[in-house]
Structure 1
Amino acid sequence: MGRLVPAVTRALDILELFLEGDGTLSAPEVTRRLQLPRTTVHELLTTLAARSYLVQIPDQTGRYRLGVRAYQLGSRYAEQLDLAAEGQQVAREVAETCDETVHVAVLEDTDVIYIAKVDSTHAVRMVSAAGRKLPAHCTSVGKMLLASLPPAELETRLAGRDLVAMTQNSITEPDALLAALAEVRERGVAAEHRESNPDVSCVAAPVRDSAGHVVAALSISVPMIRWSEQREDELAELAAKGAGDLSERLGHRGGR
């Protein structure tokens, strides 16, 4: 690994400060927060502004905000993002932590499509595949994605639909589904207990893009022989962390 260049490191430290708070800073604030000499901060701010990474705010003398060049770099990064590839990487990291099967899925009408999957190493594990489509209301990822829709859109998607049963535990009544989705919104994570597979339970958390929209969900699936209420709580926390990590990769900055 090559040597880090101090001046570049300090310039990047300054830029990253603008990711916090209201996105504006003055030279004294930068000096105080980074514990750098005033002259150094002034020179770095002047250089970043000259290259359009920062811009002085017209009505607030001495205060800066991010400039157009930072936006251009962020936009180029977003263009190169691949949800499936990023999801596969995060799913692998989550699976390494819990050694259970991890999926990332997206919503298509009233179904979910799995776009990434990493298997557990246990002999007894969930059998599935990336590309598989399932009724959303029978899965934890599907409940998470349905619960994230605006009420009018959710009503339109569900109108006239039969809620098919995949197991005897599947939700088949619209009112019961709406109640379950309300619980998902309140809790912030979704769960399904043997609703798509009689031998498996799952938990899922939302994945958000740079605009804060829910674009996918990440789930952890566990055979009932390894399932318990305590395990559900542990995996719900891990799913939320994994979904938060994937959200950050997609540019989301709103926290988990």
Structure 2
Amino acid sequence: MKNKPPYAIDSVDHALHLATLLQQEGPLGVSEAAARLGVSRSTAHRLLAMLVYRDFAERGPDRRYRAGPVLRPADPVGAPVALLRQAAMPHLQALVARVRETVNLQVLAGAEVRFAASVECDQILRVGDRAGRVLPAHLASGGKALLAALPPGELTRRYAGTDVNLTRLRRELGLIRKRGFAINDQLTETGLTAVGVAIPWPAGDEPAAALSLALPSARFDHDLLPTWVGALSATATAIAHDLAAGSA
């Protein structure tokens, strides 16, 4: 039998309870959530907003909230995430110090890309921490860089039965393979632009992880793109080297 901890944090308890309700009972409006939790509408709205931010919930066009990607059955991730994160973090921090923009580590899971780690830059106007977020792989820069390394049949398998235009996607992925990087220009979030490269996988298989540099679109400069891509590629190679050394 579980007893409530003596020093329970009510806000955490409410958020976890709300996430459970969304997963097990289906969509809720703000008023319904408030009634179920016994809190005010404003408190329920703040809790739901935080769940949406962390992908535990999604707000539909009917203004009701549903379980988000984190609460849905997850596609398996090919990369050993804990090992990858441990090897990558010092390199991510060094990269942020060099480029002064936020950097993310992403892994491919089915047709989605998951943010395994995020290091924010110190600029006042910056892209925030995305750790734990989930995005469609064909829209995110890191996701596109990873999809570009997949065999044609594997790409078809992942997108069978979806509304993604595979002809157009294959054309874009071909260009990404040629130039070695991908760009997400406000496809996942207005005002955000990201540049992504795949991390070479030590075993020689298709890459299962990627790096992305994310910045406010107002600060994106095509003249700086070669510098950013060079820094990302060098960091990806360094991470791959450490992974290979760790598995030797």
- Shorter-chain TM-score: which interval? 0.5 to 0.7
CA distance in structure 2 between the partners assigned to 1:224 and 1:231 by the alignment? 13
Q: What whole-Å deviation, never above 9, does each CA across 1:64-104 have from its counterpart, x for those lacking one?
A: xxxxxxxxxxxxxxx9x810111222111110101100001
State the 1:147 CA deviation: 0.8
CA distance in structure 2 between the partners assigned to 1:189 and 1:180 by the alignment? 11
Tell me which amino acid in the other structure corresponds to 2:219.
R
Partner of 2:100: 99
Partner of 2:217: 224
Tell me which amino acid in the other structure corresponds to 2:147.
L
Q: Extract unaligned runs of 5+ from structure 1.
A: 1-78, 164-172
Q: What's the TM-score once normalised by structure 2's chain length? A: 0.63
Partner of 1:82: 83
Q: What whole-Å deviation, never above 9, does each CA across 1:14-64 have from its counterpart, x for those lacking one?
A: xxxxxxxxxxxxxxxxxxxxxxxxxxxxxxxxxxxxxxxxxxxxxxxxxxx
8 Å Cα contact 1:204/1:240 also seen in 2: no
8 Å Cα contact 2:104/2:130 also seen in 1: no
Partner of 2:59: none
Tell me, what secondary structure is at the counterpart of 2:138? helix
CA distance in structure 2 between the partners assigned to 1:179 and 1:96 by the alignment? 35
Give matches, 1:1-256, under 5 Å. 82-163=83-164, 173-213=165-205, 214-251=207-244
CA distance in structure 2 between the partners assigned to 1:212 and 1:218 by the alignment? 18
8 Å Cα contact 2:183/2:193 also seen in 1: yes
Tell me which amino acid in the other structure corresponds to 1:238.
A
Q: What's the TM-score once normalised by structure 1's chain length? A: 0.61
CA distance in structure 1 between the partners assigned to 2:208 and 2:243 by the alignment? 10
8 Å Cα contact 2:119/2:129 also seen in 1: no
CA distance in structure 1 between the partners assigned to 2:167 and 2:163 by the alignment? 12
| 4+ aligned runs moved over 3 Å, structure 1 | none
Tell me, what secondary structure is at the counterpart of 1:137? coil
Tell me, what secondary structure is at the counterpart of 1:212? coil
State the 1:129 CA deviation: 2.3
State the 1:130 CA deviation: 1.1
Identity among equivalent pairs (%): 30
Partner of 2:67: none
CA distance in structure 1 between the partners assigned to 2:133 and 2:85 by the alignment? 14
Larger radius of gyration, structure 1 or 2? 1
Tell me, what secondary structure is at the counterpart of 1:250? helix
Q: Extract unaligned runs of 5+ from structure 2.
A: 1-79
State the 1:157 CA deviation: 0.5
CA distance in structure 1 between the partners assigned to 2:226 and 2:160 by the alignment? 33
8 Å Cα contact 1:208/1:250 also seen in 2: no
* Paired residues, number: 164
State the 1:128 CA deviation: 3.7
Tell me which amino acid in the other structure corresponds to 1:101.
T
